[in-house]
Chains A and B, each alone.
Chain A
């Protein structure tokens, strides 16, 4: 669909997708292509990765600000501001940004996640300067008009309806995050609660822009057929004059220890139940010294990294208790990590049945561990994937940026692959034993409701339906 402004890396959505993507983001190219880095006097960082396979460049400007930096009552403002970034500056009218990029043969997009906000232009490499000039302009000169905001916030509300309100499985993930976490802002949806969107003003977006959109809070990633020195010179020319600003203090908002399982039911029109179990698990912090995140990655892959992986083989193919299954781990994040197990029961089977089947598979790993053969298989997949990933320039830019936003240097990409290859069956068993505990579990199930043509009445007590 020809849409931009899509928050592609909403962590909630990412978790619902294939695990392999999540697992492999921690892997990466053994970088044959060179990466060079620079920092401007105003604190802005630039990473350039040369890839000369095509005369194309991907420009990805990351701001280290996402929904995690919002406060209650103004949830969704990071994403709403992302939409407003296309609505004009002191020198460019609303909508002109997209027109200029388009007429230059380019494509533009943007995304907002819990951790970061990103803006992307893909063009012929000869048009690099245009993209940098436009991005520098809107970093410093955005004009936020009440008229444009009042229209765009309606678009955002439509987006929330489309993305969440009318999708039962999205509601499950929203309820899951809001339940698994109590203090940490990952508990709030990236798109924001509907009532916050309804009451948001242009001033909320302007405040957020003034606080966070500064060169010293930005990382520019450029991948493509470019000369690093030329990129650095152009970046200096356009971004160099923008002054650094003092950034707000980020409070840790540490999530307290969980002291018991939490269970929630979401009722929505559907045919099949849907069960998501989420365990608190540590994200990657120190790429050299940590080992648990790599073992968790491998654990997720052993469970769901290929069609013959444990969950699919036993629950879907063998016992036929599940229509589909999944496992994933969010290891690259500024905040707390979660390890997910997902199952959809076969028609006629219940949520309780797939839950106990998932629990049995966890117990099996805790008691018996995983085999060397299984582990070698998912390592082979990871090693091949790092070659395949080099086929996509935007993936490479995405990978560098998302690591950096989570505080993990992109220069550790090769180290991460090495560490992953060193994971032992015993380490996988250890992390399973340590983190698959009821005390750290949140479980949400979708209870399918008949598809009546009546509107839903009120959300069940305790669960935020968003409506």
Chain B
């Protein structure tokens, strides 16, 4: 079945309720235990592939913060007898694109290649060798550490970095989600080759690998590829690496950090929800009205449209394996930071108390459900959903059920979920720019 057919099936579903599968996801496990997610589609002569692990910065320790990201970045810089230039040339020669990503929970490699036999074979061969047999060359590690420390010191001069780093520290305190995914200058300096090798051995475990494939191959080919790229990966004895639960904030925290920038950078938030949380849909739909719906959300209306206080103002939930953050963010001229904070605070309080109006909820549902085809209108986007569903063990029917889950959310659900999960009295507020809420003090030379 082509993309076209099932997307049209989806459209029917969006209008007429549950029907057939939107996205025929095929799922199985490799001999070594990796979970595989595959959508077969032959419209374009190309293949997207990723292999990911629970190996993101959440698995770093405070002392070795940055190990997850550096391990991930080193994979492509030497493997199985190939040096970094040979790897890069081998992939470029056939037009393949290799990606390495290391986030909060997940880390891994991705590949985009032409599906024609010669190109695909060569791309997959290089990809598998990099993933299974990285060499972590000592001199390359030294060089990458220097580069990373330079980039970190540069980033630390920027208000956008400073606000983010401090926000996550205050929201997550001693939880690993507080750690900066790139690591800190002081911790990166101490990382050794052994740290990277042992991180790789521990976390790039084939039993917890998630393989996502989308594109111009058959089921049989997909099975062979999934075996090939995960075969000979490390295999430990331990259970899947645990992550501690996130504790709620006991009290609100406000922090002002001086910076000479013309704009104040503001982040407000708290621990939010995990993937698969039963409150996900009421919070997602509610937030769409509050600050997630682009130009029609309340925060942008109050901050930008009515008052011209900011170019960008938004809110979102970022669900993770454990409670990911709820975030409200904006930038505004430093002299008006106090006013912007007051506007956002009253907008949030009003919403948590009263929820959306019937009209807002209806318009939001029409947007989320009506725009559903836009979420899966390319191989890249579909591949992204496969990786997400696989990693977080969401139901295979996640996309199929999406419209119905959105449709059934009521105002009462939203009010109830926000009342339990978003407490305006217990939020972290970080402002980088003025030293305090009083513009006069901030402007003092």
Which residues of the partner chain B approach A269 to less than 8 Å between Cβ atoms? 157, 260
Interchain CB contact under 8 A, B292 and A2: yes
Question: How far is it, in angstroms, between the C-alpha of A388 and the C-alpha of B115 when the chains are bound?
Answer: 11
Residue of B nearest to A392 (CB): B378
Interface residue B379 (Cβ < 8 Å from any Cβ of A): yes
Which residues of the partner chain A approach B175 to less than 8 Å between Cβ atoms? none
Interface residue A265 (Cβ < 8 Å from any Cβ of B): no
A135 to chain B, nearest CB (A): 16
Which residue of B10, B46, B310 is within 8 Å of A387 (Cβ)?
B46
Interface residue A55 (Cβ < 8 Å from any Cβ of B): yes
How many pairs, one residue from A and one from B, have CB atoms within 8 Å of each other in the complex? 230
Within 8 A of B (CB), among A373-396: 376-378, 380-385, 387-388, 390-393
Which residue of B258, B259, B261, B294 is within 8 Å of A107 (Cβ)?
B294
Within 8 A of A (CB), among B74-133: 76, 84-85, 88-89, 91-97, 112-114, 119
Which residues of the partner chain B approach A306 to less than 8 Å between Cβ atoms? 88-89, 91-92
Question: How far is it, in angstroms, between the C-alpha of A99 and the C-alpha of B366 when the chains are bound?
Answer: 11
Interface residue A467 (Cβ < 8 Å from any Cβ of B): yes
Interface residue A129 (Cβ < 8 Å from any Cβ of B): no
Question: How far is it, in angstroms, between the C-alpha of A306 and the C-alpha of B93 when the chains are bound?
Answer: 10
Interchain CB contact under 8 A, A166 and B263: yes
Contacts A105-B370, A107-B371, A347-B153 given; does A387 touch B44 at CB 8 Å: yes
Question: How far is it, in angstroms, between the C-alpha of A390 and the C-alpha of B150 when the chains are bound?
Answer: 37
Interface residue B190 (Cβ < 8 Å from any Cβ of A): no
Interchain CB contact under 8 A, A346 and B150: yes
Interface residue B62 (Cβ < 8 Å from any Cβ of A): no
Per-residue CB contact flags for chain A residues 114-133 toward chain B (1 = under 8 Å, else 0) read 00000000111011000000
Per-residue CB contact flags for chain A residues 306-326 toward chain B (1 = under 8 Å, else 0) read 111000010011001001100
Q: Which of B119, B157, B292 has the most CB of A within 10 A?
A: B157
Which residue of B89, B93, B146, B304 is within 8 Å of A155 (Cβ)?
B304
With an 8 Å Cβ cutoff, the count of chain A residues facing the other chain is 80
Interchain CB contact under 8 A, B435 and A453: yes
Contacts A86-B295, A95-B305, A162-B331 given; does A378 touch B92 at CB 8 Å: yes
Interface residue B34 (Cβ < 8 Å from any Cβ of A): no
B98 to chain A, nearest CB (A): 9
Interface residue A250 (Cβ < 8 Å from any Cβ of B): no
Interface residue B332 (Cβ < 8 Å from any Cβ of A): yes
Question: How far is it, in angstroms, between the C-alpha of A259 and the C-alpha of B256 when the chains are bound?
Answer: 50
B87 to chain A, nearest CB (A): 8
Which residue of B92, B157, B295, B306 is within 8 Å of A102 (Cβ)?
B295
Interface residue B154 (Cβ < 8 Å from any Cβ of A): yes
Interchain CB contact under 8 A, B363 and A387: no
Question: How far is it, in angstroms, between the C-alpha of A383 and the C-alpha of B46 when the chains are bound?
Answer: 12
B248 to chain A, nearest CB (A): 27
Interface residue B373 (Cβ < 8 Å from any Cβ of A): yes
Interchain CB contact under 8 A, A166 and B46: no
Interchain CB contact under 8 A, A98 and B157: no
8 A-B Cβ contacts within 8 A? A53-B43, A54-B376, A99-B363, A103-B370, A153-B308, A155-B311, A272-B150, A391-B379
Query: Which of A's residues lie within 8 Å of B, judged by CB?
Result: 1-4, 52-56, 86, 94-95, 98-99, 102-108, 122-124, 126-127, 150-159, 161-162, 165-166, 225, 269-272, 305-308, 313, 316-317, 320, 323-324, 344, 346-347, 376-378, 380-385, 387-388, 390-393, 451-456, 467
